[in-house]
Amino acid sequence: MTSAGSGLTLLQTCALSLLVFTGASQFALVGALAAGGGPFTAAAGAFFLGVRNAFYGLRLSQLLALPRAVRPFAAQWVIDETAAVSLAQPTRRAARLGFVVTGLSLYVLWNLTTLLGALGAEAIGDTDAWGLDAAGPAVFLALLAPMLRTGTERTVAGLAVLLGLGLLPVLPAGVPVLVAALAAPAVLWARGRRGGARGDVTEEDR
């Protein structure tokens, strides 16, 4: 429904879920388009959010040791959930099974619910009248909030919000999201300098 509210057609919505199987990147792309951003800035924001899956892939490639011919297809299922399930298994066989079962079930359900949501959006007509433009940010915040466990993570999130909202009136739509990504290296750099000046490392830094 969120993508339909951003102007994507039923076919485009389903293709997005089929090809970009990572929720955070999809919501970022759709949210940027809904705000009036261009396709390149929207895609750039989605790309940066999806980069973490590449790091999952490095670890899973060693753990699963899949045949070379299978790896390009398995890469489509490298997401938070499949990585977590695979890494929690005691043996390589169990890790492979967990990866396949988790990836297959989530991929099928994700695309099925995407189709149902897009059909529902078409059925209700004007999605803006239902406030669906706020659905993307709301879901994104719901996904993010439980992950903010340490002071560093909360600082990064707070600075990102300030950058995004502060630059929203002066930069084209979609660009403030990209600038907000600088919050993480900025906070880590500041903490590194502070830790170096004190000459000690806190438990949280470890």
Q: What b/e readout covers 59-97, taking b as 16+ CB neighbours within 10 angstroms?
A: ebeeebebeeeeeeebbebbbeebbebbeeeeeeeebbe
Query: For residue 103, what pLDDT band results from cuts at 50, 70 and 90?
Result: very high
Q: Which tens digit of pLDDT belongs to each residue from 137-155?
A: 666 677 677 778 888 889 9
Q: Are 48 and 178 spatial neighbours (Cβ–Cβ below 8 Å)?
A: yes
pLDDT at residue 126 above 80? no
> What is the reported pTM?
0.61
Check whether 44 has a pLDDT greater than 80. no
pLDDT in tens, 50-94: 787 888 899 999 999 999 999 999 999 998 889 989 999 999 999
- Among 25-39, 59-73, 99-113, 128-142, whose mean pLDDT is lowest? 128-142
